[in-house]
A and B are shown apart, each in its own frame.
Chain A
Amino acid sequence: MGNEERIAVKVDADLKELIPGFLQTRHDDVAAIAAALEKGDWNAVYIMGHSMKGSGGGYGFDEISEIGAVIETAAKAKDAAAVKSGAVRLSDYLGRIDITYV
């Protein structure tokens, strides 16, 4: 895994105010997904995945939509390993993005 590689993301300037909150919620999702898995709350995992899938690309983060889709599918299949790997991928992605507002 090339953790050091930065990812440039272009985001609509209209959304500047929303981005910190949006990214914070994704960070929280990483922890929330782990907690829900712990409790076996597949529905909560599914909803988080579905919501990420629906909103990520809209904010300019297509990768977050893709990860959301993976988590949504994995939750439906009750595949804990796939959910975990999705959460790791999300955490990794969040650590490497550089945002420019356009």
Chain B
Amino acid sequence: MGILIVDDSKDSRDLLKTFLKGAGYKDITTAASAQEAFEALGVNGADHRHKIPFKVILMDGVMPEMNGIEACRVIKADAHLADIPVIMVTAMGEQESLNEAFEAGATDYITKPVKKIELLARVRSVLRLHQEMERRKVREKELIETLKQLSEANRVLTLLSAQDGLTGLANRRHFDENFSAEWRRAMRDRQPLSVVMADIDHFKLYNDHYGHQGGDTCLRQVAAVIGQVARRPGDIAARYGGEEFVLILPDTPLEGGMRIAEEAAAAVRALRLPHEKSSAAPYVTLSMGVACMVPDRSKEMKELIERADRALYAAKRQGRNRVKAAAEE
């Protein structure tokens, strides 16, 4: 609870200090000039930490060299000290300067000769105000910290709610939201939008033979490969259903969609995950259907998915382990 008294008159310093001590205040520092006050406060000094944290400054108005108003202005310009309340102590007849003092950032004033009751009342109320402000600053800080944590938690939650728990790819919900956004964007930009549907061949047999844990491992490995193929910004790879995956490829014509689908199919084959029960190959393979549309108002979003789905079934009918483009319709 540091109080700093700044006054060039020793009699005034002694008087204020004695009154304040009599009222139980401790840690009272006195300064005989603005310069001494600056030293005590650490104005412009690199090291505020070793200085007494003053709670209030009693500042004489008229002093030789730098006067109290100027000193107040200097203190208020120092970011570390600006919040310390300054009470101007001004002699009768100096009241014209009060406007200037308040403009310089003074909180309150007392007139000289100082009356004990008035001094103590002003100091008490300014200290209470300061304490309340400090408490509020702490609360504001806590609030900001809480908000930060909350928004981080929200970010994580949003991420998690968009993710498929097993594979880490986008989940179905995230896919649905993004597919309609990409559809609208493609319509606006008059750009082709491609969709790739992919199915792990004979996954039911794989699960029956290798167990559910083996099936989950397979899904994860295939998903990782598919996720790496859809790597342009805007591309989305999602788990569509049990062993079904889907890619959204914005600004991509049918040939581009085919190329990416072939790349994914080849990458999965290259994993050489054994699949004894598959009729398509002795290892895990994909059947894929690719469709592309330039969306416009006459077309429906689900039409694109249905076309890719039909191409996928064509790929399966023709023996699996292959990529089929949707027929022009």
> Which A residues are closer than 8 A to B by beta carbons?
12, 14-15, 17-18, 21-22, 25, 47, 50-51, 53-59, 62, 65, 69
Contact = CB atoms under 8 A, between A and B. Distances in A.
B22 A58 contact: no
Interface of B: 8-12, 14-15, 18-19, 22, 60, 62, 64, 91-93, 112-116
B15 A18 contact: yes
Contacts of A65: 113
A54 B92 CA distance: 8
B12 A58 contact: yes
B15 A55 contact: yes
Contacts of A25: 10-11
Q: Summarize B's interface: helix, strand, loop or mixed.
A: mixed
B91 A22 contact: no
A53 B115 CA distance: 14
A12 B11 contact: no
Q: Summarize A's interface: helix, strand, loop or mixed.
A: helix
A22 to B, nearest CB: 6
Nearest to B91: A54
13 contacts: A12-B116, A17-B18, A18-B15, A22-B14, A25-B11, A51-B12, A54-B12, A54-B113, A55-B9, A56-B113, A58-B113, A58-B114, A59-B11
Contact of A54 (B9, B14, B18, B116): B9
B18 A55 contact: no
Contacts, number: 59
Contacts of B14: 18, 21-22
Contacts of B22: 14
B33 to A, nearest CB: 13
A78 B115 CA distance: 31
Contact of A50 (B10, B18, B91, B116): B91
Nearest to A54: B112
Contacts of A21: 14
A15 B20 CA distance: 11
Given A14-B116, A58-B113, A62-B113, A51 B9 contact: yes
A40 B19 CA distance: 36
A26 to B, nearest CB: 9
A17 B19 CA distance: 12
Contacts of A54: 9, 11-12, 60, 91, 112-113
Contacts of B60: 54
A29 to B, nearest CB: 10
A50 B62 contact: yes
Contacts of B19: 12, 14
A59 B93 CA distance: 19
B116 A55 contact: no
Contacts of A47: 8, 64
Contacts of A62: 113
A15 B22 CA distance: 9
Contacts of B11: 22, 25, 51, 54-55, 59
Most chain A CB within a 10 A radius of its CB, from B8, B15, B113: B113
Most chain B CB within a 10 A radius of its CB, from A12, A51, A69: A51
A55 B8 CA distance: 11
A69 B112 CA distance: 12
A59 B18 CA distance: 11
A28 B302 CA distance: 103
- Which 4 pairs from chain A and chain B are nearest by CB? A57-B113, A14-B22, A55-B11, A51-B9
